[in-house]
Amino acid sequence: MRTELLAPAGNLEKAKIALIYGADAVYIGGKQFSLRARASNFDLETIKELVDFAHDLNKKVYITMNIVFHDDDIQGLDEYLLYLDSINVDAIICSSMIVIERAKILSNLEIHLSTQFSVTNSLLTNYFYDEGIKRVVLARELSLLEIEKVKENSKADLEIFIHGGMCVSYSGRCTLSNYTVLRDANRGGCAHTCRWLYDLYEDGILLSDNHDFQMSSKDLQATDYVQDLLRIGVSSLKIEGRMKSIHYIATVVSAYRMLIDDYYNNSLRDMSFYQNEINKAENRQTSYGFFAGDTTIEQQLYNQRSEVPTKEFVGIVKEYDNNSKTLYLEQRNYFSPGDTLEVFTPNKNIVQFKVEKIFDEENNELDAARHPLQTVVVKLPVSVPKYSIIRRVKDE
Amino acid sequence: MRVVARLKNFMEIEKLINLGVDVFLVDTPLAVKQINGELFSDLDKIITYEKEVYLLINKMIHETDLEMLEMILNKANNDKITGIVCGDMTVMVMAKKLGLENKIIYQPGTMNTSSFDNEYFHRKAIKGITISKEITLEEITNIFKNKVTEISLIGHGYLDMFYSKRGLLSNYFIYKGVDYNNIKNNDKFRLKEEMRPDSLYPIFEDDGGTHIFRDKALESFNELDVLKQYLDDFFVERIFIDDQEYYDSLLAYKTSTYMNEFLDKYKDKYNKGFYYQYTEKIKGELNEN
């Protein structure tokens, strides 16, 4: 069986984009029981809409329920599980025993164990398999050699993170945020305290300079290891980032889709090709995490704020009118006449064009597209499909 | 309720017994945040004292640790060793294979937060669970109401709030180009966050990775009467605490009249952790860096 490409989605639009751009499955959090519940707009109806959309494409939807449950979190759990089962969700991803046990009793839902549990060996994957868990998302602290060893001995399917943000601690084993800002990291309140700036002292003597002790990890980017993971035969390759933009989702999913397909078609290109594709949307420094073994300074960020927002992504195609050769797009970032834009389509085609004029929907000419979510209109001689991503080509 | 103390050396055994300690917790080669890793090789001598002995196995267990884990657990197959305190469920799985699951105390730090966790592990026939460190006294007492297996708590000392596999101190000194000796197992390092200049967080690196601790140690003197009605084990931590202060804390738990004297002497170092402080589930508009 071919290895699955699994993508994150923070809302319905991102989920559809991920599936259209090549993900075999998406994982989302609903408004309850998920570490990203605050940011979710997946109410029950929207989850159903997505499941139907994905199944029409012969693809899958997994629902994260990965908070660490306290007694006061349990209300509504049974009803939620029953609903997810009734709309044929493909699996739930969870880390608390109560979710696992209630799901087994109440439903036929497939159960995946979240990386929040930080499983690091085959003895434990097999325990959970015997407990009725089909798939285990391994801890991100495992090297490629360890993953291979676990795979050799594991009865459970294995899911491996290949891209995106990394907890610097073992996932699920951190309460920095709880203690420093009273927000429960294991119930969706993580304040990313590990990315703050610190000074280091030994016995009262300052050793650092200007808050340059940082724990922040570079994001994971595992293009160099995907071939090995496919050879090993893990079940799923997972991209992190439910909070990321649709531009990021489309670009990263598309790049890994090409890499996986090229591997299976014996037509792999040089890794720099896939890496360059990813870099078109990546806004954080990346490295290869633990794949080569224990991390070094190569995997850490020092003496800098960790996020540099990209401004390349300018919009998404809503519609193309073949008769008038007109493109309707939803604006996401500023652009103006004279800019060179690039349309990146779900089937990996790229069309570049120079913006001559910009209009609003009432045909008023605009000096720039400056309002997020505004529908603006530009001329384009080539037809492009809905959901295509539009990004600005940076000046050399 | 048994008082569980971490054993540092042989010389203090009689003293700890006199201070009311019921159980000695001994580091194993798969313990992180060790007090004295050498003691494990003298386990045969430790168990000659008429006290219960627990073994500490709180490292995250990787595939390469499994052989060592089995060796340690085989040493636990002794009547004097009545508990195996573990942070990773792998230890429970291996212990079951060896018929030792009834000694397992599952102490993951963050995962035992609900009444159901107690019920689940009761079904697994282990000795008990340690309630997680980030929940309130009200939540703890609610779990007590539904108690079906042994329940324990780390009720005193510096509690860790972060466990990374990364060597964050070692890497930092490499980044700085400084040839720094004495990094691992050095308990003198502290972190200060730029927006919280009054808080110094202990940071400790060992072969298992890097651990960061609360700036204040936890104390449970006023809560002890409630806790001891239900608790089976009360763990008294000692990392970052000097020996005299540790003995004083044990005396204060044993002799309530000494409690005020202890607090007068050490109060600036301690707080109540999360006993009365509920943590938010959702993100708010806070001063994030």
Structure token digits, residue A355: 């913006």
On whether residue B140 sits in a domain, the answer given is yes
DSSP A260: H
In 3-state terms, what secondary structure has residue A221? Answer: strand
Longest pairwise C-alpha distance within chain B: 57
Query: Which residues in chain A are closer than 8 Å to B195, comparing Cβ atoms?
Result: 196
Q: Which helix (H) or strand (E) holds B138?
A: helix B137-145
Structure token digits, residue A59: 């693809």
What's phi and psi for B288, nearest 5 deg? Answer: -95, 145
Determine the Cα–Cα distance for residues A363 and B169; give it in Å rounded to an integer: 60
- The neighbouring-strand residues paired with A163 are A221, A239
| A7–chain B Cβ distance below 8 A for any pair | no
Determine the Cα–Cα distance for residues B106 and B25; give it in Å rounded to an integer: 14
Residue to mutate among B172, B174, B206, B272, with most A CBs inside 10 A, is: B172
On whether residue B103 sits in a domain, the answer given is yes
A122, A172, A297 ranked by CB distance to B171: nearest? A297
Q: Do B89 and B107 contact (CB within 8 A), yes or no?
A: no
Query: Which residues in chain A are closer than 8 Å to B108, comparing Cβ atoms?
Result: 173
Cβ contacts from A onto B, under 8 A:
216
User: Which pLDDT does position A311 carry in this prediction?
Assistant: 52
User: Which pLDDT does position A38 carry in this prediction?
Assistant: 61
The Cα of B250 is separated from the nearest Cα of chain A by a number of Å equal to 25
- Name the residue range of residue A150's domain: 4-299
Mean pLDDT of A29-43: 75
A211·B194 Cβ contact <8 A: yes
Find all residues with CB under 8 Å of B248, minimum gap 6, and list them: B258, B262, B265, B266
Question: Which one of A238, A265, A299 terminates a domain?
Answer: A299
Ranges of H-type helices in chain A: 12-20, 44-56, 77-86, 97-106, 122-130, 144-153, 176-181, 223-232, 246-264, 271-279
For A110-204, strand residue ranges (E) read: 111-113, 135-137, 157-164, 198-202
Structure token digits, residue B37: 């890793």
On whether residue A358 sits in a domain, the answer given is yes
User: Which pLDDT does position A95 carry in this prediction?
Assistant: 93
pLDDT above 70 coverage of chain A, percent: 96
Same domain, A210 and A352: no
Determine the Cα–Cα distance for residues B95 and B85; give it in Å rounded to an integer: 11
Query: Which residues in chain A are closer than 8 Å to B134, comparing Cβ atoms?
Result: 175, 178-179, 184, 186
Determine the Cα–Cα distance for residues A179 and B213; give it in Å rounded to an integer: 10
What's phi and psi for A233, nearest 5 deg? Answer: 90, 30
User: Which pLDDT does position A32 carry in this prediction?
Assistant: 80
Q: Identify the sign of the CA torsion A260, A262, A268, A269.
A: negative
Residue to mutate among B132, B171, B189, B274, with most A CBs inside 10 A, is: B171
Q: Identify the sign of the CA torsion A168, A172, A174, A176.
A: positive
Same domain, B250 and B184: no
Same domain, A284 and A356: no
Same domain, B90 and B176: no
Determine the Cα–Cα distance for residues B259 and B265; give it in Å rounded to an integer: 10
- Name the residue range of residue B175's domain: 164-206
A121·B288 Cβ contact <8 A: no
On whether residue B282 sits in a domain, the answer given is no
On whether residue B281 sits in a domain, the answer given is no
User: Which pLDDT does position A37 carry in this prediction?
Assistant: 61
The Cα of B95 is separated from the nearest Cα of chain A by a number of Å equal to 11
Same domain, B92 and B171: no
In 3-state terms, what secondary structure has residue A13? Answer: helix
What's the CATH code of the domain at A362? 2.40.30.10
Determine the Cα–Cα distance for residues B271 and A378; give it in Å rounded to an integer: 62
Q: What is the pLDDT of residues B268-288, one digit of tens each?
A: 999 999 899 877 665 543 333
B94, B171, B286 ranked by CB distance to A296: nearest? B171
Q: Does residue B289 have a pLDDT over 80?
A: no
Higher pLDDT, A333 or B219: B219
Residue to mutate among B129, B170, B192, with most A CBs inside 10 A, is: B192
Same domain, B201 and B89: no
Higher pLDDT, A303 or B283: A303
B109·A173 Cβ contact <8 A: yes
Average pLDDT, chain B: 93
With a CB-CB cutoff of 8 Å, which residues 350-389 of chain A face chain B? none
Mean pLDDT of A93-119: 96
- Domain count of chain B? 2
Q: Which helix (H) or strand (E) holds A5?
A: strand A4-8
Same domain, A287 and A384: no
Determine the Cα–Cα distance for residues B117 and B142; give it in Å rounded to an integer: 12
What's the CATH code of the domain at A270? 3.20.20.70
User: Which pLDDT does position A277 carry in this prediction?
Assistant: 92
Determine the Cα–Cα distance for residues B121 and B150; give it in Å rounded to an integer: 10
Around Cβ B82, how many Cβ atoms within 10 Å?
A: 18
